[in-house]
Structure 1
Amino acid sequence: MKTMVMTAAALALSAGMALAEGMVHKVAVHVNENDPKVMNIALNNVQNLTKYYESQGDTVKVEVVTYGPGLNMLIAGTSPVAERIAMMSLEMDNLSFAACGNTHRNMSAKKGEEIALLDEARIVPSGVVRLIELQEDGFAYVKP
């Protein structure tokens, strides 16, 4: 019984210390539309939630996952939000961008050459699978 009380006290103390240090939030943002308005809403969501959680003393890790027509958000030379992504990536070390490898491969095959992506993007095997993995890892899901 004494051990249980001590364990409970230790857990309560560690939980209190975690709250004092701030929570870590994880958010997956899903973009699958080739619409500059949707892309900008997604980036607004990222900026707003980062600002909010930081004002609370918390931290947040955000991954924007693109696939299908949404991959256009990350295509070099044509992305309507390329400059904004570059600026945000410089300012926010909590932000990453995932490009669906299936979509990238299909778009590249259709074009007859590999499509270049923004430097900020990294290719994942599948955008849908990446969203599942992130949610299984405790990421909240946001679809603008």
Structure 2
Amino acid sequence: MKFDLVIHVNANDPNVFRLAFSQAANYKKEALLKRHKISPLDIAAKAGLVALEEPETFKLVMVVNGPAVQQLVKENSELLGKAQEAVANGLKIHVGQCAMNSYHVEKDMLWSFVEVVPSATLDLVQLQNSGFAYMKV
């Protein structure tokens, strides 16, 4: 089973971002627990009766567009700690250049770990087409 997840945020609200960061942390914890539960297949593999499968890895990406891009700026120290913690735990944050242009946000204004993509909408489509599940926060 593939556990990749894209979290979509487009609200200019710090509470929505707090919820999104919390959802990412909870998802990672639950996916890791699910992945490490011992099944009959695991027991058979450990007994040498079947081949042991490689543990699955998964990716977490937050795609930010619309007015929400205004929350990702260096001046927003209120959310920075939560974002840094989420990124340290594997979350990647993508922001759309189109939204940045619309809301007059320059690349040097963003947190250093935010990746700029040409279009957040196109990024969402590409991630979903490559197997990511979609969650809107």
Alignment partner of 2:23 out of 45, 48, 54: 45
Alignment partner of 1:88 out of 86, 89, 93: 86
TM-score (norm: length of structure 1) = 0.73
The equivalent of 1:118 in structure 2 is: 111
String of CA shifts for 1:55-110, please: whole Å, max 9, x gaps: 122533110000111112321112641111112222x13x10001111112323xx
TM-score (norm: length of structure 2) = 0.77
Show the 5 A alignment for 1:21-32: 23-32=1-10
Structure number with greater CO (CA < 8 Å, separation at least 6) is: 2
> 4+ residue runs of structure 1 moved beyond 3 angstroms?
none
What code does the residue aligned with 2:117 have?
V
The equivalent of 1:69 in structure 2 is: 67
Q: Which protein is richer in helix relative to its size? A: 1
The equivalent of 1:105 in structure 2 is: 101
Structure 1, unmatched stretches of 5+, are 1-22
Q: Larger Cα Rg: Structure 1 or Structure 2? A: 1
How many correspondences in the alignment? 117
Percent identity between matched residues is 27
Contact 1:107 1:115 (C-alpha < 8 Å) held by counterparts: no
CA-CA distance at 1:24 after TM superposition: 4.1
Root-mean-square deviation (CA), in Å? 1.9
